[in-house]
Amino acid sequence: MSIMRKAGASLALTGSLLLTGGALAGPASAAPPQQDGLVNVNVGDVEILNDVNIGVAAQVAANICGVSVKNVAVLARITDRSGDTTTVCETAQGPVQFVQN
């Protein structure tokens, strides 16, 4: 009888550990976007540059928007790091945006 009690206690403990172990692990988080120093540049719904270096993308977007390249480069870096689309300015053809590649 004591062997049965030990086996039952062992099974109960194992089940308890499995249940609490899963609860302690928590949900898996999504992997951050891969930072590679490259972004896409879109004007409206037209992709004008794909997988281009941040510096080149910033220069092109700054020329289109008539703004400082330094400020635009910061927006391109933010897009590369976060994966979020960033609007540089609005034109008659649509927004000039950086998009993660």
Q: Identify the three-state secondary structure at position 82.
A: helix
Q: Provide the residue type at 15 as one letter.
A: G
pLDDT digits (tens, 9 = 90+) for 73-89: 999 999 999 999 999 99
Q: Please state whether the predicted TM-score (pTM) of the whole model is above 0.85.
A: no
Asked if 42 contacts 96 with a C-beta cutoff of 8 angstroms, the reply is yes
**How many residues can be counted in the chain?**
101
pLDDT digits (tens, 9 = 90+) for 29-85: 555 556 789 999 999 999 999 999 999 999 999 999 999 999 999 999 999 999 999
Residue 18 is predicted with a pLDDT of 46
Q: What is the mean pLDDT of residues 23-28?
A: 53
Angle at which helices 54-65 and 69-82 pack, to 10 degrees?
130
Distance CA 83, CA 64 (A): 22
